[in-house]
Amino acid sequence: MVEEIGTTEEGDLIINVGPQHPATHGVLHLVITLNGETIKKVEPHLGYIHRSIEKMCESLTYRQFIYVTSRMDYLSAHINNHACALCVEKGLQVEIPPRAQVIRVLMDELTRIASHELWWGAMAMDLGAFTPFFHAFRERETINDIMEETCGARLTMNYMVPGGVMADLHPNFQKKVKEFITLYKLKIKEYDELVTGNIIFQNRMKGVGYLSAEDAISYGCTGPTARGSGVSCDIRKLYPYEVYDKLEFDEVLETEGDSFARYMVRLGEMNQSIKIIEQLIDNIPEGDFQAKTKVVLKLPKGEFYSRVETARGELGVYIVSEGGSTPYRIKFRSPGFSNLSALDHMARGHLLGDLVAMMGTLDLVIPDIDR
Amino acid sequence: MFIVKYIKEVFNAVKSLLVGLRRTGYYFTHHKEIITQQYPDNRDTLHFPDRFKGEVVMPHNENNEHRCTGCTACELACPNGTIKVITQFDITPEGKKKKAIDKLVYHLELCTMCNLCIIACPSDAIVMAQTFEHSVFDRSELTKILNNPGSKIMEGVE
Amino acid sequence: MWNFSNIADSIHKWLNLTFSPTLATIIEMVIVGVCVIGLFAVLGLVLVIMERKVSAWMQIRLGPNRVGPKGMFQSLADTVKLLVKEGMTPTGADKFLFNLAPYIALIVAMLLMAPLAFAKDFQMWDLNIGVLYIAAISSVSVISILMAGWSSNNKYSLMGAMRSGAQIVSYELSAGFSVLSVVVLAGSLNLNTIIQSQADGWWIFKGHIPVFISFIIFIIAVTAETNRAPFDLAEAESELTAGFHTEYSGMKFALFFLAEYVNVFIVCAIGATLFLGGWMPFHIGHWEGFNHIMDYIPSSIWFFGKTFFLIFLIMWFRWTFPRLRIDQLLNLEWKYLLPISLFNILLVTAMAILGWYF
């Protein structure tokens, strides 16, 4: 703290936003230097929810460590598990049955919609509108019910296992997903009525938190945060995994680079996810839901890397194996950490009220940043 | 023209606000859209999917027999050390020693409901139950012994 | 007919017969004071439960439904909870100002009650400059907020207070102008005269579009003046945790809370008095039969009905709109509302001179 005080001028206000603050959605701690209401510097302090997940994973076997990763980005738990399963499969050289691939993609996209729904409600709440939060949860609840029926849990499902998925789809799955799509198409109009079209909301978001494409790349931003600045970085398009290369969907790109662009990217992604689900839901191939694997998985000596597109950006899983049944070293490249690092750059010169809007559009999940 | 633009701007702004007001006004007057579930009151009608992972239990049949052979596959599969199998050696009628469980200790407070033990079990001795009201006044009550006292292994389960 | 004014008159007569005039006046003052405090408590309870129910139904929830029939006693239970809570004063706070601020907020709200006409001939103080009095007293409320924010020794509180100061001072202007438009038309600052001038129709109908515009501006301005969403920057939960009352707890917090709701009631009552005719029933020109039927509804019901309609409107705003930013808030006032109301008052004056109203 000493050198920070040294750089501030007389009359500057240093306030701590967090670790307990309504806007930080968790235990993020931001030390903000203010000149009046204008932000001079934002300094994120991390570590309040560090559980050393990477170290924990090193003591667990390749089957066991996947469930821990649900606790990183708990809003896209499926996608985290997917990334780990992909990495282990890469090491094992197993071929995943087509049915399992389709199930995985379906679950990923449902998770992405659920995550964006929650983000939408939470961001509206950051801006002071409380009602959209409850409306968003109504649709998210439907997805949670679908997850609960097939995976047995609502948030930390642990449904992906090396070689496929843990259980076959529930017989009701297709019917329920179709019901959800109908509901979603009905309710998405309300989102525009309540928030997107609202003049107060647009004025709060437009021209705020500008991030140029160069800055987005140099800060390592991925996902909707970078796509809002016009950086094409969708892993599903660039490095397709599972059946994404056979699917028709667009990478949503906005070029404005402000908070509103990031907002529109996320709304567009929800529609694209619905498009993907509509393509797959009637074409789930028959067959096994899991490839035959050994009881004790042993990865050959070497290094393995896999990446997927979570709801927040690129998640990379890097495993170093010494040939045993547990990883020698494991490293997660989490999207939230890099996105958060751009906050200082975006926020300088803006007002305190804008900081909340910017944090909302970054869609920060603190356990994902801290791990 | 400046004035026309100004008036148009004000008009569009007011319109966007009225659209939002109409939406909340609709929900204010349509109470059948309310989604709240009054939990403790609707406990009797609560429905849980069969796969809901609430708690690990060991089903027993009417003769107080279970299917657990004490192979410790679940103990090995568990990432958290939730399950501890304490084995003993039964003497079969032929006079041979046979491995069986004395106690299958289950620490609910450690369990993350990851379902790995259920998958690992070769004889389907443990399953997930659909219970969810796990709160207790004393932490020690969460440490459970899954096999009933005096229970035996079912015939024909190896 | 049995109504409030008869009761007030009979009490007045009885007191003057029994006691000396000075003593009678003092006793009357005490009675009025007790009534105001009682009204405060009731209003606080009613408005809190109303807000909670309104917000719940808009958010597709049920809202409080456990305490009492349909949860109607929930706010009573909350009050009991706040009463028994410890009221802490943080170290480093200016203790005197810190403890004084909530009472000033409350006293300002009480003073504003004086010139309001709650029913026909039922008024605490028939003041011939009632509108001016209200405009003068309501701007004192900012003092209590500044006092609370400054004395808390908390940066969040200070910022909330400063925001609130800028906000209330600027929105006083357009609120004043919109009130002025009715004063110009009615030709009086006396609230009773203004109400009497609406006997053949409320100003919002009689005054055509200009008065309607000033009504809308009035609603926006008083929403801002009472620090309600979408202008709740002084509290701005997601930015400043709780703004100027971050450090307050227990009963001192409850007083701020109460003052906020009573202020909402008062500004809505003023709005109802000026634009919607106060206790004056709904009259259309010279339709004697229709007007006569409307007169059967007691005047107090008219007054409270209109006031609560406006309160509902303000609650509706709160649970629909996102919050503005501080510069946008001031832009809205200085770039949009103030020019519009300046132009509007010109129209209204022209209308009043030329007699272009019913």
pLDDT in tens, C160-170: 888 888 888 88
Give the count of alpha carbons within 13 A of A141, CB side only.
Answer: 9
pLDDT of residue B158: 67
Residues C67 and C140 in one domain: no
pLDDT of residue B137: 92
Are A310 and A236 in contact, with CB atoms under 8 Å apart? Answer: no
Is the Cβ of B26 closer than 8 Å to some Cβ of chain C?
Answer: no
CA distances, A351 to each of C106, C160, C328, C332 (Å): 32, 14, 11, 17
Q: Which domain holds residue C306?
A: 87-354
For C245, the 3-state DSSP assignment is helix
Q: In angstroms, rounded to a whole number, what is the distance separating the alpha carbons of residues C209 and C216?
A: 11
Compute CA B25 distance to the chain's CA centroid, rounded to the nearest angstrom: 39
The answer for residues whose C-beta is within 8 angstroms of residue C184's C-beta and 6 or more apart is C345, C348, C349, C352
List chain B domain ranges.
2-35, 51-153
In the predicted structure, residue A3 carries a pLDDT above the cut 60:
no
Q: Do C60 and A125 touch (CB under 8 A)?
A: no
Which residue of chain B has the CA closest to A129?
A: B20
* d(CA C240, nearest CA chain A) in Å: 9
pLDDT of residue C60: 87
Average pLDDT of the residues in A28-45: 85
Its pTM stands at 0.86
Q: pLDDT band at residue C357, thresholds of 50, 70 and 90? A: low
The answer for residues whose C-beta is within 8 angstroms of residue C81's C-beta and 6 or more apart is none
Residue owning tokens 């994120």: A44
Mean pLDDT is highest, among A58-62, B86-90, C239-243, for A58-62
The answer for residues whose C-beta is within 8 angstroms of residue A339's C-beta and 6 or more apart is A219, A221, A222, A223, A225, A312, A313, A362, A363, A364
**C179-195 pLDDT tens trace:** 888 888 888 888 888 88
Q: In angstroms, rounded to a whole number, what is the distance separating the alpha carbons of residues A153 and A66?
A: 15
Give percent above pLDDT 70 in chain B: 96
Average pLDDT along chain B? 84
Residues C178 and C32 in one domain: no
How many residues can be counted in chain B?
158
List chain A domain ranges.
50-342
In the predicted structure, residue A6 carries a pLDDT above the cut 60:
no
**C32-72 pLDDT tens trace:** 888 888 888 888 888 888 888 888 888 888 888 888 788 88
In the predicted structure, residue C228 carries a pLDDT above the cut 70:
yes
Among candidates C60, C155, C322 on the partner chain, residue whose Cβ is nearest the Cβ of A198: C322
Contacts of A68 in chain B (CB under 8 A): 79
pLDDT of residue A8: 60
Q: Which tokens is B111 given?
A: 């369990």
Are B39 and B124 in contact, with CB atoms under 8 Å apart? Answer: no
Contacts of C60 in chain B (CB under 8 A): 27, 33-36
Contacts of B38 in chain C (CB under 8 A): 62, 65
Q: Do B24 and C62 touch (CB under 8 A)?
A: no
Q: Which of C84, C107, C130 is the last residue of a domain?
A: C84
Which residue of chain B has the CA closest to C65?
A: B38
* d(CA A162, nearest CA chain B) in Å: 12
Residues C155 and C42 in one domain: no
Is the Cβ of B129 closer than 8 Å to some Cβ of chain A?
Answer: no
Average pLDDT of the residues in A189-200: 85
pLDDT of residue C3: 65
Q: pLDDT band at residue C285, thresholds of 50, 70 and 90? A: low
CA-based radius of gyration for chain C: 21
Residues C96 and C64 in one domain: no
In total, how many domains does chain C have? 2
Average pLDDT of the residues in A156-169: 85
Q: Do B28 and C60 touch (CB under 8 A)?
A: no
pLDDT of residue C358: 60
Is the Cβ of A292 closer than 8 Å to some Cβ of chain B?
Answer: no
Contacts of B5 in chain C (CB under 8 A): none
* d(CA B38, nearest CA chain C) in Å: 9
Q: Do B114 and A194 touch (CB under 8 A)?
A: no
For C123, the 3-state DSSP assignment is strand
Among candidates C60, C321, C336 on the partner chain, residue whose Cβ is nearest the Cβ of B17: C321
pLDDT of residue A194: 85
In the predicted structure, residue C229 carries a pLDDT above the cut 80:
no
Average pLDDT of the residues in C321-343: 86
**B112-131 pLDDT tens trace:** 888 888 888 888 888 888 88
Q: pLDDT band at residue A1, thresholds of 50, 70 and 90? A: very low
Give percent above pLDDT 90 in chain C: 0
Sign of CA dihedral B117, B119, B121, B127: positive
Among candidates A60, A161, A295 on the partner chain, residue whose Cβ is nearest the Cβ of B79: A60
**C131-170 pLDDT tens trace:** 888 888 888 888 888 888 888 888 888 888 888 888 888 8
Give the count of alpha carbons within 13 A of B96, CB side only.
Answer: 4
For C124, the 3-state DSSP assignment is coil
Contacts of C233 in chain A (CB under 8 A): 353
Average pLDDT along chain A? 86
Average pLDDT of the residues in A101-122: 89
Average pLDDT of the residues in B23-28: 86
- For residue A361, with 0-12 CB atoms within 10 Å meaning exposed, 13-18 middle and 19 or more buried, which class applies? buried
- How is domain B51-153 classified at the CATH fold level? Alpha-Beta Plaits (3.30.70)
Average pLDDT of the residues in C317-345: 86
Q: Which of C43, C59, C84 is the last residue of a domain?
A: C84
Check whether the bond before A327 is cis (ω within 30° of 0).
no
* d(CA C156, nearest CA chain A) in Å: 8
Residues C278 and C328 in one domain: yes
Residues C97 and C32 in one domain: no
The highest-level CATH class for domain A50-342 is mainly alpha
Average pLDDT along chain C? 83
Among candidates A149, A150, A153 on the partner chain, residue whose Cβ is nearest the Cβ of B113: A153
Q: What is the ipTM of this complex?
A: 0.81
pLDDT of residue C2: 57
- CA-based diameter of chain B, in Å? 105
